[in-house]
Structure 1
Amino acid sequence: MSGKMTQYRWWVMAFIFVIYTIANADRANIGFALPYIRKEFAMSNTEAGAIISLFFAGYSIGQIPSGFLIRKFGMRSMFSMGMLLTSIFTGLLGFAGNAFHFKALRLLIGLAESPVVVGCTTTINQWFPPKEKGTATGMFLAGSKLGPLIVPPICAWIILTFGWREIFIAFMIPGVLLSVFWYIMVNNKPEESRFVSQKEVEYIHSSENVAMEKKNTEKKSEYKLWWLDKIVRAKKVEPLVNSKQIFRSWDIYGAAMGYFFMVGIVSVLMSWLPSYLVNVKQFAIMKTAFVSASPFAGTVVGNFLGGWVSDRFLNKRRKPLMMVTALSTTIMMYSLVYAPADAYLLALLLFGTGFLLSVGYSAFAVYPMGRTTKEAYPVAWGIVNTGGQLGGTCFPLIVGMILDKFNWDVVFASLAFGSFICLLIVSTIIEPVEDPLEKPHS
């Protein structure tokens, strides 16, 4: 195979897309089952929020350790083990006998899934050249939102045919099979894979060569947005090369804090939206399934488009779309205070919300790739994703506490305020670029 150009990296991307879709379906199915679980175990809104939050608590705790473990033992082994344990713990939810069992298993699912997300982004960083990383990461995160998109209709059918417990047992099976598949098909680096030719390896690393640097210089003349470089504080900076530098970098912490609010809002839509539609809008189960899926249809499209735009039109600038997402999500969250009662209009509004929320969502994962070396990236992404998953931990619980005291209008207004804080924080970090543009002289 050394004599021809292979495209196996895109097969790896397809594997990531499918596996992360299943992983996110494993976490999202709790939202659709929650009204039935609450009925059986007589839970308050706060208790239900705790069950949702415990997954993200375990997930956030596991991010930084997963970065170090992947750096030490390799992505291949840690990814496969994480996916296998995630699936097993998900299946055990179907046998939970009380609320305590649910809480313990949700915590374990979060811990088990931590190496999966770090492994996905580490794989993208190793297997793709810089000019394709935004597109690949957009595809990866589109998979994360395809999971919640397919969950509502599948869960509705399982509940109507069997019961809520069978949801978790059914979702366990594909994850177990895919964990074995990944270990067989994907190596830590492309040069270690029997499916990758030498030409593809050279292409993946070509941007590190002088020839590609010249090509990038020629492309710079096509990029005219000097004013945007001023807004996003584009600068040439030395990449972070070790853990000490990473833990001292405000840029990494700023990205993590911004991601805190974005993941928090997504976790609320994923876990609480079905309850909102059933209890507030009084929708039947199949109509709830349709409307619950609509924001995630928007996120799939938004993630694909956002990664492509940042690579193709923004010359690998990641911060602009991060800021666009934060601002537009502020507006869309507040608009849900006045959400229409009609299911189709509400679905359209939620589709737009999901789309705008996700246009810059993948940029939070790609940003550390440009700020660090490949070897240091797993730790940096572990910090950023820890911030994100702490948002996923806090927001569902806070929503439950708000609902026990107030109503959904207060929830949506609070989410809008959080997104605005995200915009302020993200505006302070540096956009790392090789050669920032300056205002042309007339």
Structure 2
Amino acid sequence: MSRTRELDRRHVFHSWSAQNRLDPMVLTGAEGAHVWDENGVRYLDFTSQLVYTNLGHGHPKVVAAIQEQAARLCTVAPQHANDRRSEAARLIAARAPEGMDRVFFTNGGADANEHAVRMARLHTGRPKVLAAYRSYHGGTQTAINLTGDWRRVPNDTATSGVVHFFGPYLYRSEFHASTPEQESERALAHLRRTVEAEGPATIAAIVLETIPGTAGVLMPPPGYLAGVRDLCDEHGILLIADEVMAGFGRAGAWLAIDLFGLRPDLITFAKGVNSGYVPLGGVILSAAVADTFGDRPYPGGLTYSGHPLAAAAAVATLTAMEDENVVGRAAALGAEVIAPGLADLESRHEVIGEVRGTGVFWAVELVADRGTRAPLPDAAVAAVTAECRERGLLPLPNANRVHLVPPCTITGDQVREALEILDAALARAVR
């Protein structure tokens, strides 16, 4: 056992894990779409770590920006103005819908969602927030209660003011739908009844991942997000779009809301905004919400809000993405290479029930039986993942799915290499 691994097992307490069952891979380097381990074995990184290295590993312009900023002004308290924070806010606001010109910086996505909910409650004077069961919004107290998946349950004290509902997921429809249109219509009817049953005047906000990521890259059916917007407008409810995972190129758009013409009241972001090189998240505010705190102090803040190293990384990332047409390339790659490549695998592997995604944001749903759609057992999914890793590919497993979420800068040849590995892994592991 290497000293790194030995010290990790002795001293590091890992997220979301039974500590005695862990055997973490020791990574020692990364460049572009590749990482390598302590033995020098190189892997194609189709996890983007935790879906955040949108610009790839070690982008020289971002690294140089962090180095330059560290040498000039390494840290500054949030009450002071700073050139990199100001420029990062300008660049982020420029990618939001018109009129959303203010940015509140946080350390990551979870506290971005915490503050968005706080802002919504203070703006409306209402206590409740609605969120989907199939969702992940972060690990802090409000964010984990917003989350709908299994991680919420051990943390849920039933005091958070969060009410959950089922969002659309046609492949495993809660509404007995057989078409995208039926799924959209019935999911909206279910949400409307939830709002009515809870009392619209008690609801501050509906929080939605524009494209639920951890839950399986669930593309919203036609009309769904527009219907949620209309429902919110009808009852004076704010709409919070969680773009932490889907934003900044991941979905083949600057923000995933752009794919659906959605205008939220608050947008949360993190991850891809600076490729995760330095922790950064935030909330983009509509003018109406920002005006609430024009003469009334906002009762919230963070010591490292808009940290200059993180902000410098964001400025460099967003500038590089613009200069190198990273978003356009990600969209084209998804449409022209990933989608047809996965469709080919689906046609040849009975174990694939469905593929879903856009840009460089994809999930492959693995099933034991296509007719019943019974999920592939955990052990079989683990075998597929292990076989991929043995062949030099790191996919991101989640439940009965394999998520393929490479950097937005991945090349077509690298995607084809990854799909060939997945093809072989499915053939061998499932057999």
What is the TM-score normalised by the length of structure 1? 0.27
Greater relative contact order (Cα 8 A, min sep 6): structure 1 or 2? 1
Structure with more of its chain in helix, by fraction: 1
Structure with more of its chain in strand, by fraction: 2
